[in-house]
Amino acid sequence: MGDSCSSTWRCVMLISVCSILFSASDGVSQRDEKTMEAVRRDLQGYRWNTSGSDFCEWYGVICNSNKSVERLELSRLGLSGNISVLIALQDLKWLDLSLNDFSGQIPSVLGRMQSLEFLDLSANRFSGRIPSEIGNTKNLLCLNLSSNLLSEGIPPELSLIKGLKRLNLNMNGLSGGIPEELRGLHALEELQLSGNHIVGSIPLWIGNFTNLQIFTAYENKLIGPIPQNLGSNSNLVLLNLHSNKLVGNIPESIFASGQLQILVLTMNSLDGGLPASVGKCRGLSNIRIGSNKLTESIPPEIGNISSLTYFEANENSISGTLVPDFARCTNLTLLNLASNGLTGSIPSEFGALLSLQELIVSGNSLSGDIPSTLSKCKNLSKLDLSGNRFNGSIPEVLCDIPHLQYLLLKENSLRGGIPVDIGNCKRLLELQLGSNYLTGKIPSEIGGMSALQIALNLSFNQLQGSIPPALGKLDKLVCLDVSDNRLSGSIPSDLKGMVSLIEVDFSNNLLSGIVPTFRPFQNSPSSCFKGNKDLCGEPLKTCGNSSLAGHPIKHKSFGKVLAVVLGSGLMVFLTVTIVVVLYVIKEKQQFPDTLDPPPSIVTGSVFEESLKQAINFETAVDATLKESNKLSSGTFSTVYKAVMPSGLVLDARKLKSIDRTVNLHQNKMIRELEKLTKLDHDNVMKPVGFVIYDDAVLVLHYHLPNGTLAQLLHKEGDASEFEPDWPRRLSIVLGVAEGLAYLHNCHAPLIHLDIASVNIFLDANFNAIIGEVEVSKLLDPSKGTASITAVAGSFGYIPPEYAYTMQVTAAGNVYSFGVILLEILTNRYPVDEAFGEGIDLVKWVHNASSRKETPEQILDARLSTVSFAWRQQMLAVLKIALLCTDNTPAKRPKMKRVVEMLQEVNQGA
């Protein structure tokens, strides 16, 4: 009986406890459900997957066993709005809102989220100060606020987060020094402060952090020495302090643990040398110490680092010799010791560097022979020995290097002839042999170097004989310089085959005859031909030393001369008369008489209240009647510049092929335009108003002063005006990708009808803005965008499947974007006769391997040759472009994935 009562009592207690627990769990669930409904309402820009009633099933929402939200992983969703609503999630431990569109100040109420352990707000547009209240999140382990617009100083209150392991404040506008209070963050494993305006010195106490593995503070205004104890108490893995004003020695302490993997100290004022203790770090892959004031020689212990991949120590005053111990670094890809004080010769042991891609030792005092063992470096693509004292001959075996693209040997004391075998350098893009003591003839075999593109420089040597006509086969060559030699004979007319030629120099030789009529020759200054006694013709004004103008005119020729003069005068008169008549006719067409009725405006609207007084519809319409206002023309529209009486400058986009559909579907068109005003992305153009007149539609936008991407890439002008702007181009295509991803994933997804470089507009800061978005809705409002009755897109950008499916798709947009990537990588038009019949840019690139061309050979050499880092980024983007332009739509990545891949390339700089 007693046992029965006891058992019954235990059951009652258990039921009571369970009821309390379930009741508490239900309360938490209901509380978080209301909060998540508010989150869905307040955070805009993403179409929440809320098909189920359980908020724990929503994308990026992870709940614990009590149905309480524990993690929010909402990165890369285009979100914006007020994040303060999240503070009601009391059990939230993980909050990732990175790579979204949040702006304004970071709410100080986030400091109330006591359960928070991980907070990532990186890559948004948060501005203002970092709220000191974040110091109240005592359980925080990781804080990432990088890549925002934050300013003012680092709040010392962050020191209250005693357990903080990772602090990343990179790429903001933070100022002031590193707060002394942060010395209490003993748990720190990662401290990243790069890309700010931080001043002062690096505190000594950072060297006391026993857990520190990553410390970056590059691109700041730091002064003073690197702490001599940095790394001595921890397993330092990465140290990046480039682009500051640091002085003193490179401390031995950073190598003490032997764990260092990446060291970047470029662009400071460090002196001394690289400590021998660097040899302890067997896992060290990157050493970049260029652009300092280092003087001591490279220690032989460098050979102990078997994992070394990059070694850059250019632009210092490093003395001593090229230590042969580098040959033991079998994974070495780049060795750059340019512009130092090195002496001696290149060790023959360097032939063992089978992974070496670039050997750059220009601007030193190296001498002796160029070792033939370098031909064993089968992956070598760049050999730059220029500006030294090499005094042997050019080894014939250099062209046994299968991937050699840049052979730069100028400004040495090389002797002998140019080896005939140099014609075997089939992949060479640039050959620099100027300013040596080379003799003999120019080998005609050079004409077989079909890839030669950047320059052929043979100037300031002692070359004799004639210019080989075979050079005319170099149809990709941009610059030819054979000046200051002893070349004789005439300039061969075969050189007209050099159709890419921009810069030439034949001066100071023994050339004779007439300069062939060839635009690159006639467009060159006369100085490029002077110093040849018997050379005549344009652009020269003389033949030998006698002026043509100085010869007396014989009397018997006077009649002929007079006839020519009178005939020329009559011709000029007739020409001027015809031009004036044509001009009057054209002006008549553009500006009809007042008798002709002006265009009749049917309706119009301005969507932004602040602009209603500044926009005049008649002015916008009149702007389209004047050809001089035309800015660009695409498949579906033409853009005109319209200057309002108020001074406001707009772009007026006149849609093509509208016809009577304007009047038939006017109301629907207006509704669609109003919907487009709700587009909210920095890389997508949205209308500020519209005008409907007669049978035409004008859509009004803010003026974008830097034109289109097509105009940037293919602008006419002298090659000397070219700006090496790869970072800008990468930023532009990343913006285009983000804008397209937004269109594909916004609340009402939009498929663009014409992704092409002519429809990518550039604002004052060269940010990319996708234009012609409205044509996806307005081209024919009676139809949807899924079906097309004509070819959608610009020639060269159209996906192959559109020809038979007649369906525009997101995958088709990805293909067109891939063409844009190829366009910026190669600087070629999407369609070019040079590719051959039936071949466009995509096919030309995809077929490169069948032509036995390397990926490097199809890149724009004016960019890819600037730096190793640029070329690596371009090759990475090329891989993405090949994926995007796959012939099978299903194999192409989604635009969100393309954005991620491009961001990885950009962040890997």
Q: What is the pLDDT of residues 413-471, one digit of tens each?
A: 999 999 998 888 888 989 999 999 999 999 999 999 988 988 999 999 999 999 999 99
Q: Are 799 and 749 in contact (CB under 8 A)?
A: no
Angstrom distance (rounded) from CA 392 to CA 385: 13
Average pLDDT over residues 309-335: 94
Angstrom distance (rounded) from CA 734 to CA 901: 10
DSSP 644: -
Angstrom distance (rounded) from CA 713 to CA 698: 27
Angstrom distance (rounded) from CA 248 to CA 241: 13
Query: Could you tell me which residues come within 8 angstroms of residue 749 by beta carbon, excluding any fewer than 6 positions away?
Result: 743, 810
Q: What's the residue count for the chain? A: 909
* 810-843 exposure pattern, b = at least 16 Cβ within 10 A, e = fewer: bbbbbbbbbbbbbbbbbbbbbeeeebeeeebbbe
Sheet containing 221-225: order of strands: 199-201, 221-225, 245-248, 269-270
Q: Identify the helix (H) or strand (E) that includes residue 316.
A: none
Does the pLDDT of residue 781 top 60, yes or no? no
Average pLDDT over residues 287-293: 94
Higher-pLDDT residue of 780 and 600 is: 600
Angstrom distance (rounded) from CA 255 to CA 237: 9
Residue type, 283: G
DSSP 202: P
Instruction: Give strand pairing partners of 329.
Output: none
- The pLDDT score that the predictor gives to residue 801 is 80
Peptide bond between residue 539 and the one before it cis (omega within 30 degrees of 0) = yes
Band of pLDDT at residue 676, cut at 50, 70 and 90: confident
Q: Are 67 and 25 in contact (CB under 8 A)?
A: yes
Does the pLDDT of residue 234 top 70, yes or no? yes
Residue type, 905: V
Q: Are 209 and 186 in contact (CB under 8 A)?
A: yes
Angstrom distance (rounded) from CA 153 to CA 404: 50
CA 860 to the chain's CA centroid: 13
Angstrom distance (rounded) from CA 671 to CA 675: 6
Does the pLDDT of residue 20 top 50, yes or no? no
- The pLDDT score that the predictor gives to residue 52 is 57
Q: Domains in the chain, start-ordered, CATH in brackets?
A: 601-907 (1.10.510.10)
Instruction: Give strand pairing partners of 222.
Output: 200
Question: For residue 214, which of 195, 196, 241, 176 has the smallest C-alpha distance?
Answer: 241
**What is the residue-averaged pLDDT of the chain?**
83
Task: Classify strands 601-606 and 689-693 as parallel, antiparallel or unpaired.
Answer: antiparallel
Question: For residue 798, which of 679, 666, 889, 699 has the smallest C-alpha distance?
Answer: 889
Band of pLDDT at residue 133, cut at 50, 70 and 90: very high
Angstrom distance (rounded) from CA 50 to CA 747: 13
Does the pLDDT of residue 703 top 90, yes or no? no
Task: Classify strands 689-693 and 696-702 as parallel, antiparallel or unpaired.
Answer: antiparallel
Angstrom distance (rounded) from CA 41 to CA 832: 50
DSSP 535: E
Q: Are 256 and 250 in contact (CB under 8 A)?
A: no
Angstrom distance (rounded) from CA 698 to CA 621: 8
Written as six digits, the tokens of 878 are 């090329």
- The pLDDT score that the predictor gives to residue 699 is 87
Query: Residues of the chain with pLDDT > 70: what percent?
Result: 83
The CA-CA-CA angle for residues 59, 62, 66, to 5°, reads: 135
Band of pLDDT at residue 598, cut at 50, 70 and 90: low
Does the pLDDT of residue 741 top 70, yes or no? yes
Question: Around 74, how many Cα atoms within 13 Å sit in the side-chain half-sphere?
Answer: 30
Residue type, 219: E
Q: Are 899 and 745 in contact (CB under 8 A)?
A: no
Question: For residue 126, which of 98, 154, 153 has the smallest C-alpha distance?
Answer: 98
CB count within 10 Å of CB 249 equals 16
Angstrom distance (rounded) from CA 590 to CA 306: 73
What one-character-per-residue DSSP string does 559-628 give? HHHHHHHHHHHHHHHHHHHHHHHHHHHHHHHHS--TTSPPP-EEEEEESSGGGTTT--HHHHHHHTT-GG
Does the pLDDT of residue 241 top 80, yes or no? yes
- The pLDDT score that the predictor gives to residue 363 is 95
Written as six digits, the tokens of 858 are 């199809």
Angstrom distance (rounded) from CA 332 to CA 309: 4
Residues taking part in catalysis: 754
- The pLDDT score that the predictor gives to residue 29 is 64
Residue 434 Cα distances to 437, 466, 528, angstroms: 9, 17, 16
Higher-pLDDT residue of 378 and 647 is: 378
Written as six digits, the tokens of 104 are 């304004």
Written as six digits, the tokens of 696 are 């035409």
Average pLDDT over residues 767-780: 70
Start-to-end CA distance of the chain, whole Å, equals 80
Q: Are 235 and 258 in contact (CB under 8 A)?
A: no
Angstrom distance (rounded) from CA 759 to CA 872: 28
Q: Are 269 and 293 in contact (CB under 8 A)?
A: yes
Query: Could you tell me which residues come within 8 angstroms of residue 243 by beta carbon, excluding any fewer than 6 positions away?
Result: 218, 219, 220, 266, 267, 268
Q: Are 241 and 195 in contact (CB under 8 A)?
A: no
Angstrom distance (rounded) from CA 830 to CA 826: 10
- The pLDDT score that the predictor gives to residue 552 is 34
Average pLDDT over residues 331-350: 95
Q: What is the pLDDT of residues 94-120, one digit of tens each?
A: 999 988 889 999 999 999 999 999 999
- The pLDDT score that the predictor gives to residue 785 is 36
Angstrom distance (rounded) from CA 437 to CA 899: 52
Does the pLDDT of residue 562 top 60, yes or no? no
Band of pLDDT at residue 597, cut at 50, 70 and 90: low
Does the pLDDT of residue 143 top 90, yes or no? yes
- Helix, strand, coil shares of the chain as percentages rounded to 5? 35, 20, 45
Angstrom distance (rounded) from CA 193 to CA 173: 10
Angstrom distance (rounded) from CA 330 to CA 308: 8
- The pLDDT score that the predictor gives to residue 705 is 84
Average pLDDT over residues 743-763: 84
Question: Around 184, how many Cα atoms within 13 Å sit in the side-chain half-sphere?
Answer: 12
DSSP 758: G
Angstrom distance (rounded) from CA 250 to CA 236: 14
Angstrom distance (rounded) from CA 499 to CA 287: 43
Q: Positive or negative, the Cα torsion across 459, 463, 469, 471?
A: negative
CB count within 10 Å of CB 374 equals 23
Q: Write out 453-496 in H/E/C secondary structure.
A: CCEEECCCCEEEECCCHHHHHCCCCCEEECCCCEEEECCCHHHH
Written as six digits, the tokens of 20 are 């309390």
Angstrom distance (rounded) from CA 799 to CA 888: 10
Band of pLDDT at residue 806, cut at 50, 70 and 90: low
Q: Where are the beta strands (DSSP E) in 353-452?
A: 358-360, 367-368, 382-384, 389-390, 406-408, 415-417, 430-432, 437-440
Higher-pLDDT residue of 759 and 637 is: 759
